[in-house]
Structures are given as structure tokens and as C-alpha cells.
Structure 1
């Protein structure tokens, strides 16, 4: 399978199209959670907005220069109300998603850590020591 990374513009167009299709009553094929990709002096990170999700519903894999986050969530049906609901607005997603991000080559992939708090999944990769900026003394 070939992975294609969308540009920020393509991502916004894709989200706009998905929202338009969803508003017409058709179910969008795939959910794409909003994300932030950031970098500071010591780390490179990815944050995904996953309100209502649990950590055991999400998997993270770093391989071949990409980090892929996948999730699968079943729609919860209350036991006492098993009849089909009729939604007027339905924006809270269930189902599955997969997002991939290209990683820079200057990271310590094996030292990555992930945390899940307040509906935000954060994955941080420390930068290699030789990739960090350093001052050079003038002699």
C-alpha cells in the first residue's frame, strides 16, 4: 500500500468535502480527527483531537519514516434504549480512522512517548543530540 501525505490545503479541502457529504445525510467513509504537528528545540510531536475516545481504541506505529495513528470505536447503544435513534445533528464520530505523518530523519524513534489526556493524544519524539542546534565558540 502506498501512503500519500496530503498537504494542509488538500486536508482542508478533503475535510470540507466530507462535511458537505455528511450534511446531506450520507455517512462519510472515514473520520479524520483534527491534528497539530509541532516542533520545538528538543522534540517533534503530533497531537490528535479524540474527544470521547479511550486509549485502548487507538494504536500508534512508527515505521519507515512515518508515524501512523489508527483508531476504531464502536457506536455505543444504551441497553435500555435499543430502538434506532433519529438524529437531527450528528457530529460526534464513531467508526475508524487512520492518519499518517512523515517524520523528520533527526529523531530518536525508539524513545518516543505518547500520552492521552482530556481527549488529546500527544506523541512526542525526542530529537537526536547531534541534530539539536548548538553554539560554536569564536576563538
Structure 2
């Protein structure tokens, strides 16, 4: 019954790559893999929470803190900046690329934050190409222990 299933004709990687490129050109804003953002989105972001805060980690290798601009308004976090092209950074002459995944120029990422974030107390630190943004939760949103009294 499953014998024919295992003998299906799987496309060669070059055919699959061509098909993937066609899809990327037809639907440039659609996510083309398991990531939650479109391919090529910069910078990549991890977001999580603790009992006390929302933590956002921005992976921006090669950028200094002064090259980034961070703002929070109406529970929306916006990160923007400019990244120089790789050739310009290294002083190399221009060359013909067959594939170029690292872009240069302006970028911007916008993230909706969950309710209950105290944006007035937001903090950000940068080290080794990672920016850690800590957004504390409002006191009323933090979990609190309720004591159970014997009846």
C-alpha cells in the first residue's frame, strides 16, 4: 500500500530552489519557511516573558548602539536604523554577487506588545551585537500569591 508513496519523484534541489525563488518573487511578504517573519527580515528578534517583565532580544551583529533607534508608543515597539553594505564596511571593491542575503540600508521592525506593559520603565542594553529590551509589567498584571485560609 505505501510502496508507491516512497517512490515518489522528489524534485532535484536545483528545481526546488528555482521554485522557491519564483514563490519568493510572487509573494515577497509571505513567510517562506518556519520563521514567523518573512525571509530577510532584519534584525531577528526573540521575545519572551517572565513573571515581572516582557523581554525582547534583538540580534543586530555589527551594529553599534548609536546606530539603532528604539521607541515604544501605544504598546508598539519600533526598532529602526541603518546598516552599511558589507562591501563598504570592509573596503572591498564592488563585485558581482550570485546571491546576496546581507543587505545594506535602512531597516525597521515593529512589534505589538501584550497588554499590561509599563512602557515608561522600559530599559535597553546592548552587548556583543545583542540588544536586550526589558519592559516591566504593571503591578496589577503581575501574578500574586493568594493565601488560602482555613474555614
Aligned to 1:111: 121
Aligned to 2:84: 74
The alignment yields a C-alpha RMSD, in angstroms, of 2.7
Task: Considering Cα pairs closer than 8 Å and 6+ residues apart, tell me whether 1 or 2 has the greater RCO.
Answer: 1
The CA distance in 2 between the partners of 1:85 and 1:103, in whole Å, is 41
**Gap change, CA 1:111 and 1:91, over 3 Å in 2:** same
Aligned to 1:26: none
**What is the 5 A alignment of 1:121-132?**
121-132=131-142
Residue 85 of structure 1 aligns to a residue whose secondary structure is: coil
Shift of 1:49: 1.0
Shift of 1:119: 0.8
Aligned residues: 117
The CA distance in 1 between the partners of 2:89 and 2:114, in whole Å, is 42
Structure 2, unmatched stretches of 5+, are 1-29
**Gap change, CA 1:10 and 1:86, over 3 Å in 2:** closer
Aligned to 2:36: 11
Residue 11 of structure 1 aligns to a residue whose secondary structure is: coil
TM value normalised by structure 2:
0.66
The CA distance in 2 between the partners of 1:53 and 1:77, in whole Å, is 11
Preserved CA contact (<8 Å) 2:42 2:109: yes
Aligned to 1:95: 105
Aligned to 1:22: none
Aligned to 1:57: 67
Shift of 1:45: 1.6
**Gap change, CA 1:77 and 1:103, over 3 Å in 2:** closer
